Each structure stands twice: as C-alpha cells, then as structure tokens.
Amino acid sequence: MTASRPAAAENFAAAPVNQRRATLALIALSVSAFTFVTAENLPGGLLTLIAPDLGRSTSEIGFLVTAYAAVVVLASLPLSRLTRRFPRRYVLGATTAVCAIGSLWSAFAVGYADLMAARMFTALGQALFWSAVTPAAASLFAPAVRGKMIARLTIGNSLGPVLGVPLGTWVGQQTSWRTAFLLFSAVSLAVCLLMVAAMPDVTPEQGGTARGTDPSMRRFVVLMVVTVLLVTGGFMMITFVTQFLLETAGFPDEYLSVLLLAQGVVGVVATIVIGQVLDKQPWRAVLVSLGLLTGALVLLWGLGHVPAVALVGLALFGVGFSAIPPALSFLTMQVAPGATESAAAISSSIFNIGIAGGAALGAWVVAADGVGTVPLFGAVFVLAALAVLATDLLVAARRATARRGPARATPRRPAGCP
C-alpha cells in the first residue's frame, strides 16, 4: 500500500531520473567542483611564480587564498536564500560560468589589486555552488547509495588541491602563471555547457534531500566545530606545501609537480575507498581520517627535511585530507537541523573560515619561524578536531547505552510491579 511505504522509497519514487543522465550530471558537477577548488587554491601552487612577477611577497600571495575564502564565508547563506526558488540546473550552471569568467579575468589581471578583484568575483560563484551542489546531486539517486554518490561527487573536491593545483603549477612553470588560470577558465566554460545540458530538472524536495534525514542541532554544531578545526590545520599545510617541499624537504623545482601529482593519485584512491563505507560508517570514517591526518602532519614536521620521509608524509596527508570532504558533505545532509541547502551553505562558510584561517596562520608562521614549522601548528588544530569528535561519539554511545538499560531490565521486574 502506498501509505505504508518507507519515506525514503517515496522520496526517490517522486523523482524518477534516467540513471545515465544522472551519472553524466554527476560527472559535470564533480568536474565543476574540481575547477572551483583548483581556482581557490591555485595561488598556493603558483605563489613562487606570482610573487616576483607582481613584486609581492609569498605571504601576500597566500592572502589571495584567505580573501577568497572570506568572500565565500560571507556570501554563501545570503546567496543560497536569494536563489532558492530558481531551478538548480541553471543556478549551478551560472556558478560555473562565473568561475570561467573569473579565471579568465585572473589570467589577464594587470596587478595585485586587479588579481584580487578577479578572485573576489570567482569566490561569489563558489559561495553559491557549494550551498546547492550536494543536495542537488544527492536528489538524483536512491537514498541507499547517496553516500557513495556524494563521495564520487567530491572526487572533484579532492582532486582540486592535489591534482588541479599541481597541474596548474606545472603549466605555470612551463609557460607562465597566467596560462594556468587561462586553462582552468576553458575547463570551467566546457563543464558549464555540459552541466546545463545534462542536469535534469529535479528539485531537492522531489528527490527527498530538502531536509536532514536524522536532524540534530547538537551533532550539526559538533560537525561544524570539527570542520573549522581540521580545515584550518589542513590548509596551513596545503597553502604552503610547495614552499615546504622546496625549502624544507629540499626537492628541486622540476620534481614539484610530479610529487603533488602522486599525492593526487593517492587522494583519488582514498575518496573512492571512503565511498564504499560512507553509507554505513560516516562518523568513524571522519575519526580515522583525522587520526591519519594528525600523524602525517607530525611526521612532516619531525622528519620532513628527509626527502623520503617527506614523500611518505605527503602521501598520508593526501589520503587523510581527501577522505574528509565527502564525509563532511554526507554528514551535513544527515544531521541538518533544517533545510539541507541552508546547512550546506553554513558548512561551506565554516569550511572556508578554516581555509582563510589556515592560510592566514600559515602565512604568519612562515613569516615568523619559517615554513618548516607549519606542519606542527597544523597538527595541533587537527588533533583538537579529533578530540572534539571522539568526545562527542563517546558521549553519544553512553547516552545510547543508558537509554537501552531500562528496556533490558524490564523482564526481571517482579510480577506485581507495574
């Protein structure tokens, strides 16, 4: 009978989508995520090229990442609410078009201020993109596989800092940093056209992703605290990874792109693996990733001056950090205390607070004590995130045990007791 069907089944039945088209749309969304993450972090890979060309210090070029993230923080929720009545295919297509235009602007920027303005424009597109993309993508698939599909979506996220940035770095080294921005402008334009053509007109309401499946304000707040701490620690390293590899590990310039590309391959594998367990063990997946990320940063700080050890640390860092975005996106969809798009917008803002904080703190550490200390400070933040999450999971487990206790004791009551 229709009235007795599970809610999840009703939600998916309300939005029948051709799976071939849904998969094509998911690929377009993932590539678009890749271009946005790359655009955001590309100055980190090109800072040793941009700085002398514009007559600025590497710390000032690192601030391009910080300012970009600040715009995303401030604009995500307002833009999400402003555009919530528009079809998602056109909203997401428009955001990718903004990325194409902003990257083209960056390629032809005539100075530091002009480049900063181009970055701010691009950031507006990203602010809206992240609030809409996860609910829109999840609405195309059955509830039982949404964790796996979100993981596939976030392959683009994971590839941004560990593949897109190395590719842009390599292109910049072979030609100029402007050519790197020009390349990603062309990619963004192509994926914009593909997205508009492939994305079906399915709303989150039709797909059953408009509201959290297990809403909890407490767990949402914990998730946001964990997010800001781990992203701050992680992006202290990501923003200055090229400088670390050159100055601390001592690798020659020509090896830089290959090293970061290898980290990217490891990150893709990690994202695919976590997709297999995300629907069943999302919280534990984050816990394990945090532990791995902490260990990698400590290793890079302690022995990063040894090239072989730096390679191991870089690989472990790629595994740990690449597993984070899909898990955070999926958990936000679960515990959202209200509309998932609003929760995603808040999560995006928190994530970018971490990016801005990580880039700014990293710049401060580099200026004050050198790039070799960056992993240590990053590890402190990631370890704090691990402690917060572990404490919350322990408290939740004890509460669950306490709730089950009286139920087990009931059969042993005397017959005359109520």
**Residue labelled with tokens 């620690």:** 233
In this prediction, residue 40 carries a pLDDT of: 84
Tens of pLDDT, residues 94-125: 999 999 999 999 999 999 999 999 999 999 99
Mean pLDDT of 238-265: 81
Would you place residue 69 in the very low, low, confident or very high pLDDT band (cuts 50, 70, 90)? confident
Mean pLDDT of 311-320: 87
Average pLDDT, the chain: 83
Tens of pLDDT, residues 23-35: 899 999 999 999 9
Percentage of residues of the chain with pLDDT beyond 90: 29
What's 16-402's CATH class?
A: mainly alpha
The domain limits of the chain are 16-402
Could you tell me which residue, 407 or 5, shows the higher pLDDT? 407
Reply yes or no on whether the pLDDT at 214 is more than 70.
Answer: yes
Reply yes or no on whether the pLDDT at 16 is more than 80.
Answer: no
Q: Supply φ then ψ for residue 339, to 5 degrees.
A: -65, 135
